[in-house]
Amino acid sequence: MMAPTQALSADRCARSAGLASKSGSSFFQGQQVFCRSAVVKSCGVTRRQSVLVVRSSQNTVIIGLAADSGCGKSTFMRRMTSCFGGSPKPPAGGNPDSNTLISETATVVCLDDYHSLDRFGRKETGLTALDPKAQDFDTMYEQTQAIKDGKSIDKLIYNHVTGLLDPPEKISPPKMYVIEGLHPFHDERVRNLCDVKIYLDISPEVKFAWKVQRDSKERGHSVESIEASIKARKPDFDAYIDPQKKYADIIIQVLPTQLIPDEKEGKVLRVRMIQKEGVKLYDPAYLFDEGSTISWIPCGRKLTCSFPGIKFQYGPDTYFGEEVSVLEMDGQFDKLEELIYVESHLSNTSAKFYGEITQQMLKNSTFPGSKNGTGLFQTMVGLKIREVYEKLMQKEVKPMV
């Protein structure tokens, strides 16, 4: 964190450099700000003047993503990395059961790799994988800190096939390091290393519908066994996973639709993007008018939608005692191209040009949730992360076309 004296001198420098006064709050954690004298040529006149230099002291941006299993983390990852270009792949030549994904900019590690108890150890002790006592938070913290400091780490691999901890893989510090899993915000030290904290909050009804879709229709499990497994996980989920959402900067909440009474199949979704206020690195996105409460049914004279249509909502709220702005989408697009009409009424989206959200959604239209709010808000969070990355790294990410 910048010392107050540095902020003051940067402020003075900004003024003497003829810039609009930059208050200390315009600089971010991980930035070095100093003043130097430079020769400046302006309108054909060469002169010496004070110049404000902002340099990133941070080599790696850390993103934390919390969610239960089967809640769309990997789709989120694909949408997010899509905003940076390149597609994430497992480490070349390593353990084929590695959970790590590496793209040009980002390395994504799964926090299951920090299980302190393997499947057999958990069976022995009666602890679930959701229990903090089954995690090694000290190593999780030390290794994440090392990555942030620009050092390579040797991280164990939790093998989801065998249930054992496999020998370590070497992870080099990337530009962006994403820790995803059950407990990214449980340990205060790890939590404080995260530059952006995202929580995917899937309501029990939708989680059940999704698990039935994946485990019953695709993997042949019985609906009863899925129900039993969810029920067994619930106490630890409620005790250890769910409470982390209060620490998140952005929560993507997925609920059953309110447009169709008693719809429980999870086919039509109401998705809410809960954005904490007062985050320094970006402004929350809003619909039409910042800070007021709005509901919007775009279907009408200009946009025809089939049943049950689409309804957006936006407004201020509180979330665990903190001020938030909530953007909500219930329903789904008939044609993804129509998103451009919605995009025209969104502001502070962190898009680099009008139409970028629609373009991203069209590019990734085969991903699950592309026609509903999960796809839209995952994309919008991806763009927010890009903005944070650019600010902290003082580096421009070219928009991916």
For residue 363, give the H/E element and its range.
helix 356-363
Q: How far is the CB of 122 from a copy of itself (least distance, A)?
A: 47
Shortest Å distance, C-beta 343 to a copy of itself: 13
**Subset of 245-304 contacting a copy of itself (CB under 8 A):** 288-303
Structure tokens at 58: 């941070």
Smallest gap from Cβ 333 to a copy of itself, in A, equals: 14
Segment 36-65, which members bind a copy of itself (CB under 8 A)? none
Q: How many residues bind a copy of itself (CB under 8 A)?
A: 19
Instruction: Quickly count: other Cβ atoms within 10 Å of residue 150's Cβ.
Output: 11
Measured between alpha carbons, how far is residue 79 from residues 171, 283, 377 in Å? 23, 20, 10
Q: Which is nearer to a copy of itself, 2 or 297 (CB)?
A: 297
Could you tell me the smallest distance in angstroms from the CB atom of residue 260 to a copy of itself? Answer: 17
Q: Interface mask (CB under 8 A) for a copy of itself, residues 342-371, using x and -?
A: ---x--------------------------
> Using CA atoms, how far apart are residues 77 and 63, in angstroms rounded to an integer?
11
Nearest CB to a copy of itself, comparing residues 323 and 396: 323
What is the SS3 assignment for 98?
coil
Neighbours of 293 (CB within 10 A): 11
Nearer to a copy of itself, 301 or 398 (CB): 301
> Residue 177's beta-bridge partner residues?
62, 107
Alpha carbons 136 and 155: distance in angstroms, whole number: 12
308 scored as a contact of a copy of itself (CB under 8 A): no
Determine, following the binding rule CB under 8 A, whether residue 334 of this chain makes contact with a copy of itself. Answer: no
Neighbours of 55 (CB within 10 A): 10
Nearer to a copy of itself by C-beta: 299 or 329? 299
Record the tokens describing residue 381, joined without a space. Answer: 């969070």
Angle at which helix 73-82 crosses helix 356-363, to 10 degrees, equals 120
Residue (94 or 315) nearer to a copy of itself, CB? 315
In whole angstroms, the minimum distance from the beta carbon of 232 to a copy of itself comes to: 43
Residues that bind a copy of itself (CB under 8 A): 288-303, 315-316, 345
